């Protein structure tokens, strides 16, 4: 039996490409006005809650400052990102992947079990019995896929003028355009943090076997961390 279904593998690599392009084009967009605010209005830097650093050309798409080009890249890959996430969610719910591998069960919601698993992880011991993931991994994946990513998409839609005109209720849900922009920024960097941890764990726990499993669906190692 394959460790990863083909729908998971397709989404994983599509999502990886989208996240890279969206982050780098988003950094270029951030350079246009690197201050974040709460509420509906925000134009004066002295009223910002955060001054975002200016990002160098090697970290942005395109590598030179171009707000128009960065927005084009961002919008195109945002659609791919959103539709592929929707497809993955439907497939994961339909084929049992979400219930089997991503959602924690009632018996796993005990602090003693979370603490025990965390101590093992800190010792780089990622064995977790016969299941694909431990409780902490399940929680991290489920929150990322079913909460963080939809939050990014919804907040991005809210700050899009076209979407705002079609569904103005989105801005109300976020408390204003600038609040939506701040939430979008925070969600993006939370996703970056998750991605960094994910890559580090893959590197520490048999990267070639895990890459092979995510490319061709091989059985892989049941004690892998990512």
Q: pLDDT digits over 4-39, tens only? A: 778 788 888 999 999 999 999 999 999 999 999 999
In eight-state DSSP terms, residue 51 is E
In eight-state DSSP terms, residue 54 is P
Q: pLDDT digits over 30-69, tens only? A: 999 999 999 988 888 889 999 999 999 999 999 999 999 9
Q: Write out the two tokens for 225.
A: 């961390």
Q: pLDDT digits over 138-177, tens only? A: 889 999 999 999 999 999 999 988 777 777 788 889 999 9
CATH architecture observed for domain 6-216: Up-down Bundle (1.20)
This prediction's pTM? 0.84
The closest alpha carbon to 42, from 175, 169, 187, belongs to 175
The closest alpha carbon to 168, from 54, 176, 202, belongs to 176
């Amino acid at each position: 039996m394959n460790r990863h279904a083909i729908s998971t593998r397709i989404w994983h690599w599509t999502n990886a490409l989208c996240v890279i392009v969206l982050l780098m084009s988003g950094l270029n967009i951030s350079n246009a006005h690197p201050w974040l605010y709460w509420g509906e209005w925000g134009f004066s830097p002295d009223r910002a809650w955060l001054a975002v650093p200016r990002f160098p050309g090697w970290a942005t798409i395109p590598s030179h400052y171009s707000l128009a080009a960065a927005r084009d890249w961002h919008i195109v890959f945002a659609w791919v990102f959103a539709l592929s996430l929707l497809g993955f969610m439907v497939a994961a719910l339909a084929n049992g992947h979400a219930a089997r591998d991503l959602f924690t069960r009632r018996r796993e919601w005990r602090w003693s079990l979370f603490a025990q698993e965390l101590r093992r992880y800190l010792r780089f011991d990622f064995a977790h019995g016969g299941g694909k993931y431990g409780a902490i991994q399940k929680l991290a994946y489920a929150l990322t896929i079913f909460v963080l990513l939809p939050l990014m998409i919804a907040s991005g839609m809210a700050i899009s003028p076209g979407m705002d005109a079609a569904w103005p209720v989105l801005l109300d849900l976020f408390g204003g355009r600038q609040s939506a922009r701040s939430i979008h920024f925070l969600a993006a960097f939370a996703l970056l943090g998750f991605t960094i941890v994910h890559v580090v764990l893959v590197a520490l726990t048999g990267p070639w076997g895990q890459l092979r499993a995510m490319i061709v669906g091989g059985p892989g190692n049941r004690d892998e961390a990512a």
